[in-house]
Amino acid sequence: MTTDRLAPFRNQKYLNLETFKRDGRGVKTPVWFVLQENGAFYIYTEAESWKVKRIRRNPCVRVAPCDMRGNVTGTWQAATAQIVSGEEEQAANRLLDQKYFLKKLFNLLTKLNRHRRAMLKVELS
């Protein structure tokens, strides 16, 4: 994978993640993310969210840099997503905590509400 493909995502706060329904229609969601040196994007979300269910069924996704409202600011790129756990999940959580101050608040609320979270790893195709 070339660095050129990752350049539009560097120094961005939001990523538009498009997952696909059974009928092929895409569902676009702006999300917080962290880009790791190996070129993988990490995204955390509710474990029972529809995007997680769609990724379990179909790991093919598309990503593009965007603003907080989901307005795309770059080119869509094909990618593959998977749910990760263990040390990889913990390392990604630490990176997200460093990047987003508000994530620490969400971590607390998640514990209080006993919501489960999932960590998604997205790699460009």
Cα(111)–Cα(104) distance, rounded to whole angstroms?
A: 11
Q: Which residue has the higher pLDDT, 26 or 37?
A: 26
Cα(33)–Cα(65) distance, rounded to whole angstroms?
A: 10
pLDDT in tens, 42-92: 998 989 999 999 999 999 999 999 999 999 999 999 999 999 999 999 999
State the burial class of residue 43 (Cβ atoms within 10 Å of its Cβ: 0-12, 13-18, 19+). Answer: buried
Query: Total structural domains in the chain?
Result: 1
At 11, which CATH number? 2.30.110.10
Residue 14: which domain range?
3-124
Are the beta carbons of 41 and 55 closer than 8 angstroms?
no
Instruction: Grade residue 1 by pLDDT with cuts at 50, 70 and 90.
Output: very low
Residue 110: is its pLDDT beyond 90? no
Neighbours of 66 (CB within 10 A): 21
Q: Which residue has the higher pLDDT, 27 or 104?
A: 27
Q: Which amino acid would we find at residue 40?
A: A
pLDDT in tens, 11-24: 899 999 999 999 99
